[in-house]
Every structure is written in structure tokens, then in C-alpha cells.
Amino acid sequence: MSDTTDNNKNRNIENSDKNNLHSICPLCYILIQEIRKCYEHINESLPMDHLNLNKNKTMNNIIDLIQVNKQNSRRSPSSPTSPSTSLKHDHISVIILDELKRFCENTTIRGLPRIVRAHNRYLRLLWLILVFILILGCFICMLFLTRQYLEYNVIHPPRVLRHTISPFPSVTVCNFRPISPDGLKYLQMKGWKTPRHFVLDLATYAQYIFYNKHKIDEYNAASAAFSLAGFLESLPNNEERRKLGYQHDKLIIKCQITYLNGSKPVAAPCERNGIWRKFIHAQYLNCATFEPFSYLRSDTTNIEMYIYLDEMLNRAQCIDCFHGEVKSQLSGALITIHGADTLPNINDKSINLKPGTLTELRLSIIENIQKMPPYGRCSINHPIQLNLYDMLYNYSEYACRELTIQNDIIHYCNCYSIEYPYNEDTNYKPCTNLLQFINISNCNRNDLLKINNHNTTNNHNNISNICIHELNKFITRMMCKRTIIENYLHGELPNCKIPCSFYSYETEQSISTWPTKSWQLTWLNSSYNKKLGLFNNTEFILYHKAIELLDLGNELDAINILDKLNVLERKLLAILINRPNFDVRKVEEKEVISLTNLLSQTGGLFSIWIGLSIISLGELVEMFIRCYIRIKHTTTTTTTNNNNNNNNNNGSNNTLHHHQNDVIHQEQCLCKCNHLLYNIILNHLHNNNNNTNEIINTINKMIITNNSLLSMKSNDNNQEKININEQLNIE
């Protein structure tokens, strides 16, 4: 009785919905009627569960179709969207959301499972805030770590390598006094001015022509030539320059090298076991570099040198001293320790040697390993050798810088500067090149003063005009040279990089008085010094007299003479360069934070703050794989169904003999009979702006009613079958 009542109620609801739907959308009403007939037709052959599933899919497709068509009719009436595409995208979204939820429920990342499993919105909000704070803190730490990494800082941890093969350095020696007594005689013979006389005349002319006329820039440029370099550049050639300085064989009177042959030390003259490089320095004139042969460098233990300064003691005025250069006022020598076959940096890395002393330099050898950019600025793309002073030197940053500046001066100013390494074989002249100022009879400051007082002759006027004309050409070159040098002041040259591996040398210096008074006579009386013939000057007459007294047994008078003499102390000094051991201190640049450290610290931060680890990455990969498999499976199934529908629409159905194939055929017939209705209702909704929401609600009600009716009808049929079976069993 209750079932009948329910059926009546459902039918009443259904009738009212039919009327509403018919009044709103007649075609929708026709579509529902046709679908119902199809369901009733196949109801007898399909199970109830399968019928409900198929029916619900069909009704849902109709509803989705109406909604999509309505939206598309508002946007672009001419291109309706396919309902199968919309359903496919919705199904993919459902799969992704389902897998994402599954991932959050089972992941090892802190906080995500708590958010998903929270019982109420307050707990979920609390865990969301906590997780956000943890992620924010993690990324702030990552920001600081990344910024520190991008600074590319390096450290220099030293490491001592015991008994390691390393090369002995080269040694460069210069006399503080550039002009020798023989050079002074040569100047007088040639009728040339002394360096100081040259500078005074040039300064007077520059003041008269530039400074007094308020040409300050020109005067400052000219003042760069108020030095020994300006004097040397005004000489005709290198040969004339070398004659003015101390000759190598008279400067270094003895040089001895000691090396190991196995474990036995062997001492030999430097000339037999190495080479000398001789070049001209702008401040010290003649300098010499000793380099042991390459096969002896790793076994060399020390080098001894005895230097004869031969300072001019009988002059009250210094002919090569200048106010602007303090080192030009010194007595003694200087030495530079530098890498083998490299250009010495005499101006910045030299050691001063005092006359009358023995200076011992104990070497510490350092192997430097530099980093390439972005951590350092070393490079392997540089020339192996450079041509300097008409000789080949090994590449170094200092040599490259000096050569680059010199080349720019030559290129832009058409002259070379003696202050930088140069090759005399080129066709260029020095930048100063004031030949008129060299001659003692030309361009004197006294002549200029006479011209200013108007007490001159025509000859004096001609001389003055020649000097002024030469000075004007000189200032053009000096202004150009000054511009080039200022461009490189304290600047890094892009094409001059540090080698990535090189040796440097540190020294410990100790000084003692040499030679002692009691040894001076013995040292002078040695056969080696007698062969040199350097100590036969009038300055050493008293020393020879003391030697004679000593030979006669009059030691007391010899001592009295020696106490009053200091010529040897002022003219001699000795150098001992010693390698006490074969240890090497290796200094290698290392990153403060390397890429490996960055990755490990990043992993630590993620693990501490949010629990992210490699396992979590595996979980993410698993989620993506599962999504891919499910989407691919869904796509394959949809494609198969679409192909079956297309085959059925083309009339390719065959007669089926089994019950399951018959059911599939009936389902396909259902889709086929509704195909035309789909097209009709689409066109109708496209052309008429109907109330889609009301249509959808009505169809939903009818679907629910139909479901109820069909379910009750199926139950009645099943109950009748059960009753018949029971009666048969009773009979």
C-alpha cells in the first residue's frame, strides 16, 4: 500500500515537472520523453545497477551540455564547446585533486597531513599558519645562504709540504747610485750635462714657458721629466746610457752558487751555472738579474754575491740626486727576489742593502693556487712569454701590465717611455728626447735669464728659439703620455690576469757588519782581488801601507791606520741568499661556500624547518607518476568509447549472439537514438535565450523521479519473479 502511495506521489511530481518543462523548453520535454522510452525499452534486458549508471551518465551529459552551451552562446554563438572535452577536463581535475589529497595525507613533509586530517576549520587554520611560518623561515634562511654564496668569497688556508721540489728564485741587483765615476768622465768627455744640471735647466725653461703663463697642466706634465728618466731619454741610444752606469763586471765582483749533487753541496761561480740578464732601469740605470739554469733550480741552496759600490767619495755635490726622489739620495744597493725568468718589480718589491754589511736573506717558498672567476681573477688564457728589453720573460701580471701601458704610449703618442720595459729595436723615439738640453752649451738657464734681461745677441735668440720649439714638441708628447698613465692608475687591466699557479718568495732579513777590521787586510790581499785590480786607486793607498806594516810585523801601527779608515765599509757589501730547507708552503684559494656546501646546507634547512628530504622528493615523483597513469588510462578508455560510438553511428553494427554483447548493443542504440535530440536541443538553446538554470532544475527533478519509478518498477519485477519461483518450489 505504501509503495502504491509513493508511486502516485512520484507520478504527480513527474506530471507537474513535465508541465513546467513543457512550458519552459518544449524540446527539452521531447528529449526527456524519448530518453524515457529508450530506458523502458532496454529495461527488460539490462540489470538495474547498470541501468541506473547508464541513465545517470546520460542525464548528467544533458545537463552539462545545456550549461556549456548556454555559456558559449554568451561568448561566441557560432562555436559551441564539445561536452566530451569538458567532461574530460573535469575528470582530469578530479584525478589530480584526488592524488594531491592522497599525497598530503601520507607525505613526510611536516604539517601537510595535519591540515588534511584536521577535524574542524580552526585546527586547519592553525596548522596552515604554522606551516606558512615554517616555510617562510626556511626561505629567509635560504635567502641569506644564497646571498653569501653569490658573494664568491674565498679563504687561503696554508699547508706545508715537506721536502718538495721547488725552483730557486731569480735575483736582481742594482746600485742606488746610477752614474759611476767612469760614467762621469764619459759625460765630461762628450760635453754633456750631468743629470742634475739637465733637470735644473729643463725646470727653468718649463717655468718660463708654462708656469709663468699659467699653463699649469703643461707644467705638471713637463715636471715628469725632472728626473733621471728624463735625462736618460734625452740620450741618443741605449749604448750611450749603459756607458754612464756601473758595468756588471765591476759592480758584482764575485758571485757564487751552491747546489746539491745528491747530498753533497757543490759551490761554483755563477757564470758557469746560470745566465745574467742586463737591462736599464729608469732610476738606477744598469741592473742585472742572475738566473740559475733550469736543471739546477730545484737543487740550489744558496747564492753569495759581493758588490763593489765604488761610490764617489771626493765630491761634495751629488750629480744624480733629485729633490722629488728620496731613493736617489741613498747609498748602497738594492736586491729583488722574484720568480724564475720573470720581470722583477724593482720599484715596489726590492730590499735595500746597506754598505759595509752582509745581508742574509732566508727564503720561504710559497706555491700559490688561484681560483678562476667568479671566485678569483686568474686565467689560463694568457701568453707563455713576453718580449721585454729585447729578451723573453715568462708571463706575469706585473709584466703584462707594464707592457700594456708601454704599448698604449707607443700607439697613441708615437714614443716610448723608459719607465716601462721597452724594446730599443723599434723605430720610435723616447717621449722626452730633448737632445738640445743634453749639450752643456745649449739651453742653459743662464742664457734664458740673459734673454729675459734683454741683454742678448742674435745667436742667443736663435738658441732660445730652438730650445723653446723643442720644448713645445716635448710637452705634446708628455701630455699624451700623462693621459695614458692616468687611465691605468690603480686600475685592473682586463687583459692582464694572474696566472692560476705561480711561486712567490718571502724573506727573513738579518744584517751584520762586514768586513770586520781584522779581516779587511786579508781580504784585500787575496789573489782574487788582486786580479780584479779594483783596489789600486789612491783611496786604498793607506790600506796597502797597513798591509806592508803587517808584513813587517808592526801590527799596532797597522791597526791604528785601519781604525781611521772606512773606505771599504762605504764601498763594499755582501749578500747571502739562503734556502734553509726544501719545504714549500702551499696557499690554495678555496670557496667559503662551494656548490656542494650550498646544496648540503640547503638540504639541512629544508629538513629542519619543513621536514623535506629526498624521500619527500620521491613521494612527489610518485604522485606525478600516479596522476600520469590514471589520466592516460582515462584518456584511453574515453577514446575507445568514442570510437565505438562512431562505428555505431556509421551503421557498422553486427548481430550479437551473447547476452553481454546484446546489452552493449542496446546501450549504443540508446546513444544513437539520442544523437539527433542532442543536436536539436543545442540549436534550440543557441537560438533562444532560455532560462537555463530553471531547465536544469526541472530536469534534475524529473531524473530523480524517473530513478524512483524505475527502481520501484524493477523491485516489483524482481518480487514477482521471486514469488513465481517460490510457487514453483512449493509445487
Tell me if residue 468 falls in helix, strand or coil: helix
Strand bridging mode 252-261 / 170-175: unpaired
Strand partners, 503: 367
Can you tell me the distance from the alpha carbon of 667 to that of 438, in angstroms, rounded to the nearest whole number? 119
Identify the pLDDT of residue 83.
53
Q: How confident is the model at residue 179 (pLDDT cuts 50, 70, 90)?
A: very high
- E strand or H helix at 359: strand 357-369
User: Could you give the C-alpha distances from 164 to 156, 298, 583, 589, 710, in angstroms and in order?
Assistant: 20, 9, 6, 20, 99
Residues 38 and 99 grouped into a single domain? yes
pLDDT mean across residues, the chain: 81
Residues 54 and 95 grouped into a single domain? yes
Contact 351, 176 (CB under 8 A): no
Over residues 69-78, the mean pLDDT reads 45
Identify the pLDDT of residue 66.
47
Can you tell me the distance from the alpha carbon of 561 to that of 557, in angstroms, rounded to the nearest whole number? 6
Residues 102 and 125 grouped into a single domain? no
Can you tell me the distance from the alpha carbon of 174 to that of 212, in angstroms, rounded to the nearest whole number? 39
Report which of 239, 238, 231 is spatially closest to residue 283, judged by C-alpha positions. 231
Strand bridging mode 285-292 / 170-175: antiparallel
Can you tell me the distance from the alpha carbon of 175 to that of 310, in angstroms, rounded to the nearest whole number? 10
Identify the pLDDT of residue 27.
52
Q: Choose between 346 and 5: higher pLDDT.
A: 346
Whether 379 is in a domain gets the answer: no
DSSP label of 396: -
Segment among 96-100, 281-285, 719-723 with least mean pLDDT: 719-723
Strand partners, 578: 302, 362
pLDDT digits (tens, 9 = 90+) for 193-205: 999 999 999 999 9
- Three state DSSP letters for 549-606: HHHCCCHHHHHHHHHHCCHHHHHEEEEEEECCCCCEEEEECEECCCHHHHHHHHHHHH
Whether 674 is in a domain gets the answer: yes
User: Which of 579, 612, 645 is where one domain is finished?
Assistant: 612
Which phi-psi region, left, alpha or beta, contains residue 191 (left: φ > 0; alpha: ψ -120 to 50)?
left
For 547-582, letters b (16+ CB in 10 Å) and e give bebbeeeeeeebeebbeebebbbbbbbbbbbbbeeb
For cell 732579513, what's the residue? 509
Amino acid letter, residue 723:
N
Q: How confident is the model at residue 240 (pLDDT cuts 50, 70, 90)?
A: very high
Q: How many domains does the chain have?
A: 2
What's the grid cell of residue 286?
A: 744598469
Whether 522 is in a domain gets the answer: no
Residues 31 and 61 grouped into a single domain? yes
Whether 661 is in a domain gets the answer: yes
Over residues 447-474, the mean pLDDT reads 69
Residues 48 and 135 grouped into a single domain? no
Q: How confident is the model at residue 286 (pLDDT cuts 50, 70, 90)?
A: very high
User: Which of 560, 584, 612 is where one domain is finished?
Assistant: 612
Whether 713 is in a domain gets the answer: yes
pLDDT at 711 over 70: no
Residues 132 and 57 grouped into a single domain? no
Contact 559, 275 (CB under 8 A): no
pLDDT at 346 over 80: yes
The packing angle between helices 26-43 and 659-687, to 10°, is: 180
pLDDT at 149 over 80: yes
pLDDT digits (tens, 9 = 90+) for 55-66: 444 544 544 544
Residues 72 and 145 grouped into a single domain? no
Identify the pLDDT of residue 708.
54
Q: Going by C-beta distance under 8 Å and a sequence separation of 6 or more, which residues neighbour residue 658?
A: none
Residues 635 and 708 grouped into a single domain? yes
pLDDT at 224 over 80: yes
Residues 673 and 630 grouped into a single domain? yes
Strand partners, 269: 256
User: Which of 577, 612, 647 is where one domain is finished?
Assistant: 612
Residues 95 and 121 grouped into a single domain? no
Whether 337 is in a domain gets the answer: no
User: Could you give the C-alpha distances from 199 to 239, 432, 437, in angstroms and in order?
Assistant: 21, 12, 9
pTM score, whole prediction: 0.70
Whether 63 is in a domain gets the answer: yes
Residues 127 and 47 grouped into a single domain? no
Structural domain including 634 reads 2-107+622-730
Q: How confident is the model at residue 612 (pLDDT cuts 50, 70, 90)?
A: confident
Count the Cβ atoms, other than its own, within 10 Å of residue 697.
16
Q: Going by C-beta distance under 8 Å and a sequence separation of 6 or more, which residues neighbour residue 572?
A: 306, 307, 308, 309, 355, 356, 514, 515
Over residues 531-543, the mean pLDDT reads 84
Q: Choose between 208 and 60: higher pLDDT.
A: 208
Q: What is the largest CA-CA distance in the chain?
A: 169
CA-based torsion, 193, 196, 202, 207: positive or negative: negative
Residues 633 and 715 grouped into a single domain? yes
pLDDT at 233 over 80: yes
Identify the pLDDT of residue 660.
44
The packing angle between helices 458-487 and 216-223, to 10°, is: 80
Whether 579 is in a domain gets the answer: no
Segment among 274-288, 444-458, 582-596, 685-699 with least mean pLDDT: 685-699
pLDDT digits (tens, 9 = 90+) for 642-684: 666 655 555 544 433 444 444 444 444 444 444 444 455 545 5
Q: What is the DSSP string of 615-675?
A: HHHHHHHHHHHHHHHHHHHHHHHHHHHHHHHHHHHTT------SHHHHHHHHHHHHHHHHH
**Phi–psi pair at 113, nearest 5 degrees:** -60, -35
